[in-house]
């Protein structure tokens, strides 16, 4: 697809409606063929202007706190689930009003809120930790040693299951169905005797269902087999899979300087606009670029903040970059808008929707007031 970038102002996120629909069609197929329910994990993608579109394909939303739960309740208007490592007393009444499933992280939290919870016609669950790691990113591994996320077998309270109708686990990060299958074996080994008493199980997120090469047939078989063994409902709550490869971040070259290599200063920032680049870390793909020195001209892309480490990565191009050229980062719909910040007073990127007819719709343009109103 050729984008007419003259029609947009940078920096900006561009969400591709056509690709979003393609992802949603895949997830709808999984729901239908596996007989499961898929929820949007809003932690990854919370662009609520497209929630009405998303709601036509999947079953609802999953939240990590009250504000995400309110967003799903107001704009998706379907099943609304929440999990948090701990709930605040002053927020719990509102959570009970707007959430269908409320998942607890510990039996002490369940004990604290149980009396109030059981007066409401909601479903309550417990997050478990199968202590089975399948990934290499420690910062994203809920099963790492001393993890605070979920109850281990050693700490599971069989005597406190009254009112608990489901179990939840989340162990994956950008992984294929084989990792889920292995995780389920660990879950069954440690918690299998409790599953037969449950009405539902939530397999969490981290399922890269819409990534090319993902084994969808194995996922569907896995879910169907699990349902047959335990006669319960299965939920999945992917985040990335909803908007994978469905977004770009457009930025302009503001200056090119030399310090033993060419360094392009962009009007976007790794620290502010794509923090996972530094946190994970990883090197985002730039359209029409190559690896360093693969093509004739190599540049280091860096942001305009005062942070010395605000470096996005090194890229090569067939032709020289010029000041005011626009560069396009790929796969920037997920974990960007939800994690960005205004460090140094750097402006937040505008948000555009690239419609199926190739026109651009400006969804949101941020201003000085957005920076100021976060402060005191």
Q: What is the pLDDT of residues 191-221, one digit of tens each?
A: 999 999 999 999 999 999 999 999 999 999 9
Q: Where are the beta strands (DSSP E) in 203-355?
A: 233-236, 247-258, 262-266, 297-302, 311-317, 326-330, 350-354
Among 155, 142, 168, 149, CA closest to 82? 168
Identify whether 228 is part of a domain.
yes
Average pLDDT for 119-145 = 94
Task: Write out the two tokens for 206.
Answer: 């981290």
Residue 197 and residue 60 share a domain: yes
Task: Write out the two tokens for 86.
Answer: 């701990």
The predicted-structure confidence for 16-46, as pLDDT tens digits, reads as follows 999 999 999 999 999 999 999 999 999 999 9
Residue 119 and residue 99 share a domain: yes
Residue 201 and residue 60 share a domain: yes
Q: What is the CATH number of the domain that holds 275?
A: 2.40.37.10
Q: How far apart are CA 265 and CA 360, in angstroms?
A: 26
Identify whether 29 is part of a domain.
no
Identify whether 22 is part of a domain.
no
Q: How far apart are CA 217 and CA 199, in angstroms?
A: 24
For 205, what's the count of Cα atoms within 13 Å in the CB-facing half-sphere? 23
Decide which of 243, 273, 290 is a domain's last residue: 243
- Residue 2 pLDDT greater than 70, yes or no: no
Cβ–Cβ under 8 Å, residues 82 and 105: no
Q: How far apart are CA 107 and CA 114, in angstroms?
A: 10
Residue 274 and residue 238 share a domain: no
Cα angle at 255 between 249 and 258, to 5 degrees? 120
Q: How far apart are CA 46 and CA 63, in angstroms?
A: 10
Instruction: Please give the residue range of the domain that contains residue 50.
Output: 35-243
Tell me the H-state helices in 3-152: 17-34, 51-54, 66-75, 89-98, 107-117
Residue 166 and residue 186 share a domain: yes
- Tell me which H or E stretch contains 371: helix 368-372
Give every CB contact of residue 22 below 8 A, 6+ residues apart in sequence.
210
Let me know if 357 is exposed, middle or buried by CB neighbors in 10 A (0-12, 13-18, 19+).
exposed
Percentage of the chain beyond pLDDT 90 is 97
DSSP string, 212-228: TT--HHHHHHHHHHHHH
Decide which of 224, 243, 262 is a domain's last residue: 243
Q: What is the CATH number of the domain that holds 46?
A: 3.20.20.10
Name the 3-class secondary structure at 60. strand
- Counting the structural domains of the chain, the total is 2
What's the pLDDT at 1? 57
Cβ–Cβ under 8 Å, residues 15 and 353: yes
Residue 144 and residue 54 share a domain: yes
Residue 125 and residue 262 share a domain: no
The predicted-structure confidence for 135-169, as pLDDT tens digits, reads as follows 888 889 999 999 999 999 999 999 999 999 999 99
Average pLDDT for 4-8 = 82
| pTM (whole model) above 0.85 | yes
265 to 7, 251, 304, 356: CA distances (angstroms): 22, 10, 6, 32
Residue 254 and residue 178 share a domain: no
Prior bond of 80 cis (ω within 30°): no
């Amino acid at each position: 697809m050729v984008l007419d970038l003259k029609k947009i102002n940078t920096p900006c996120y561009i969400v591709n409606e056509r690709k979003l629909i393609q992802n949603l069609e895949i997830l709808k197929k999984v729901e239908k063929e596996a007989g499961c329910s898929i929820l949007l994990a809003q932690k990854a993608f919370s662009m609520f202007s497209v929630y009405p579109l998303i709601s036509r394909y999947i079953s609802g939303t999953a939240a990590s706190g009250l504000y995400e739960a309110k967003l799903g309740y107001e704009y998706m208007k379907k099943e609304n689930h929440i999990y948090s490592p701990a709930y605040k007393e002053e927020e719990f009444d509102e959570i009970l009003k707007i959430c269908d499933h409320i998942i607890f992280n510990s039996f002490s939290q369940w004990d604290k809120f149980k009396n109030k919870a059981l007066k409401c016609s909601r479903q309550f669950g417990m997050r478990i930790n199968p202590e089975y790691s399948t990934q290499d990113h420690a910062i994203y591994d809920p099963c790492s040693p001393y993890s605070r996320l979920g109850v281990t077998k050693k700490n599971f309270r069989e005597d406190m299951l009254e009112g608990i109708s489901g179990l939840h686990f989340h162990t994956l990060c950008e992984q294929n169905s084989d990792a889920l299958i292995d995780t389920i074996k660990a879950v069954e080994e440690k918690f299998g005797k409790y599953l037969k008493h449950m009405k539902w199980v939530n397999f969490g997120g981290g399922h890269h269902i819409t990534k090319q090469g993902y084994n969808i047939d194995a996922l569907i078989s896995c879910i169907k087999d699990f349902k047959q063994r335990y006669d319960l409902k299965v939920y999945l709550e992917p985040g990335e899979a909803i908007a994978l490869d469905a977004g770009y971040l457009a930025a302009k070259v503001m200056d090119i300087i030399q310090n033993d290599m060419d360094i392009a200063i962009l009007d976007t920032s790794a620290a502010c606009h794509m923090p996972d680049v530094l946190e994970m870390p990883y090197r985002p793909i730039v359209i029409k670029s190559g690896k360093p020195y693969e093509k004739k001209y190599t540049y280091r892309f860096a942001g305009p903040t005062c942070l010395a480490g605000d470096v996005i990565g090194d890229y090569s191009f067939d032709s020289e970059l010029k000041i005011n050229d626009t560069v396009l980062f790929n796969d920037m719909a997920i974990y960007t808008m939800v994690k960005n910040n205004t460090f140094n007073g750097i402006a937040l990127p505008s948000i555009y929707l690239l419609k199926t007819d190739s026109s651009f719709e400006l969804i949101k343009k941020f201003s000085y007031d957005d920076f100021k109103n976060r402060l005191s």
